[in-house]
Amino acid sequence: MNTSKAKVDVVLGLQWGDEGKGKIVDVLADNYNVIARFQGGPNAGHSLKFGETSHVLHSIPSGIFREGTVNIIGNGVVLDPIIFKEECIKLEGMNIPVKERIRISKKTHLIIPTHRIIDAASEASKGKSKIGSTLKGIGPAYMDKTGRNGLRVGDLLAADFRERFEALRNKHFNFLKQFDFKYDPDTDLEKWLDAAEYLKNFELVDGEYLINEELKAGNSILAEGAQGSMLDVDFGSYPFVTSSTTTCSGSCLGLGAAPSSIGKVYGIFKAYCTRVGSGPFPTELFDQTGEQLRKQGHEYGATTGRERRCGWLDMVALKYAIMINGVTDLIMMKADVMDNFDTIKVATSYVVNGEETKCVPYDTYAEVTPIYKEFKGWNTPLSSIREEKDLPTEFREYIAFIEKETGVRISIISLGPDRVETIVR
């Protein structure tokens, strides 16, 4: 049994992804020995900025820029060797010793090129009801995992790997027959095999042992979530979700950490909301204000470049996510985007089928009308503020309202993309 006090603290997004997890993990990473990704894959785009350097990570944990950190890619992740290699080569170009800092669980599932083809064929066949997937092969790779067909990183070391790889490809070709979809069966084949060889240069580990040994040695771990709680395969707006457990329990599943080893749960949310891809978004704005949020917040996908849908903060969804995750600390991002807004709105309840409710409805297709509370804007640039005492009164009122409604303290306020644009309370 682990008797040390070291814990696995978890950072996760409480909305529909893109909350700013990359920046916060990078800020917090100094306090941790180990940073670990536990789910998702290259559908994620975690942006970091320090000084002149801006960087987007897709499959590599956001602790990679910190000297002395161990960055684990956990068993719950799905890994595309091609994207991983490209990321590593970029980082090596910046003199980051990736091979020293990264460990990959042998139980991590592999995304192979035909997973991406299936993703594309499946989305194309759905027409208007498409999920809006990033088309990185995430869903098909998780289908193979739970369907017990998948290939894992550890399998790369097996003598018969190539045969198993071909067998899976053949299953995929058979599966693809149901779609009226044209594709080149050898897309990225050589590139993938080459990248898979490259992967073998890394320390491939029994991640669950490594995590528990680190805890036993008194080393604290930060688990880095991808996507957001409202995209969770169980608790999100199914079927407009991703294919993994993005909520707190996913960190146990995806790393082999016992539930009792979880310490703090940092829930990140933006001071407004965004969503990319299809699915319900009750507070979405289709007007000038929505456009202003998109422009001022640079709300374009870090992975796909798509325009993000923008809207007001949704307390119904936020409180739901806080409940599911057991959030201990809130982290608020990007309030500075609304610096020049005269009025700011927050949805405090919904009207569904003529009745007011504070719950997220089961029916993904239900028509939801939000009821808003209005706040006076602060009309002050926040980004240059470094001390809590210098925050404008209207902004403090906004924060106080969120803390009162959720019952959780906002312990970090981020007021810009750079590491230094952060107030720790």
- Cβ proximity to Mg ion: between 72 and 302 the closer is 302
69 binding partner (options Mg ion, ligand IMO, none; Cβ < 5 to 8 Å by kind): none
Distance CA 125, CA 127 (A): 6
Which residues, 6 or more positions from 385, have their beta carbon under 8 angstroms from its beta carbon? 391, 415, 423
- Cβ proximity to ligand IMO: between 16 and 312 the closer is 16
- Cβ proximity to ligand IMO: between 93 and 305 the closer is 305
Q: Is 336 in the active site?
A: no
Contact 152, 109 (CB under 8 A): yes
Cis peptide before 239 (omega within 30 of 0): yes
Q: In the complex, what is the shortest distance from the CB of residue 156 to ligand IMO, in angstroms, rounded to a whole number? A: 24
Candidate segments 3-11, 225-233, 363-371, 382-390, binder of ligand IMO by CB under 6 A? 225-233
CA distances from 218 to 3, 251, 255, 274, 405 (A): 9, 19, 17, 38, 36
Q: Is 298 in the active site?
A: no
Name the residue number minimizing CB distance to Mg ion: 45
Beta bridge partners of 375: 344
Scanning residues 9 to 68, which ones bind Mg ion (CB under 5 A)? 18, 45
Which residues, 6 or more positions from 159, have their beta carbon under 8 angstroms from its beta carbon? none
The correct pick among 11, 13, 23, 205 for binding ligand IMO (CB under 6 A) is 13
DSSP class of residue 77 equals B
Cis peptide before 113 (omega within 30 of 0): no
- Strand pairing category for 70-73 and 46-50: unpaired
Contact 22, 61 (CB under 8 A): no
Q: Is residue 45 near ligand IMO by the rule CB under 6 A?
A: yes
Distance CA 214, CA 194 (A): 32
Q: Which one from 18, 144, 314, 336 is the annotated catalytic residue? A: 18
91 binding partner (options ligand IMO, Mg ion, none; Cβ < 5 to 8 Å by kind): none
CA distances from 170 to 75, 143, 162, 167 (A): 25, 16, 12, 5
What mask of x and - would describe binding to Mg ion in positions 136 to 155, judged by CB under 5 A?
A: --------------------
- Strand pairing category for 355-357 and 343-352: antiparallel
Scanning residues 271 to 290, which ones bind ligand IMO (CB under 6 A)? 276-277
- Cβ proximity to Mg ion: between 51 and 305 the closer is 305
Q: Which one from 9, 46, 119, 336 is the annotated catalytic residue? A: 46
Scanning residues 116 to 145, which ones bind ligand IMO (CB under 6 A)? 131-134, 136, 138-139
299 binding partner (options ligand IMO, Mg ion, none; Cβ < 5 to 8 Å by kind): none
Interacting residues with ligand IMO (CB under 6 A): 13, 16-18, 43-46, 131-134, 136, 138-139, 226-228, 231, 242, 276-277
Interacting residues with Mg ion (CB under 5 A): 18, 45, 302
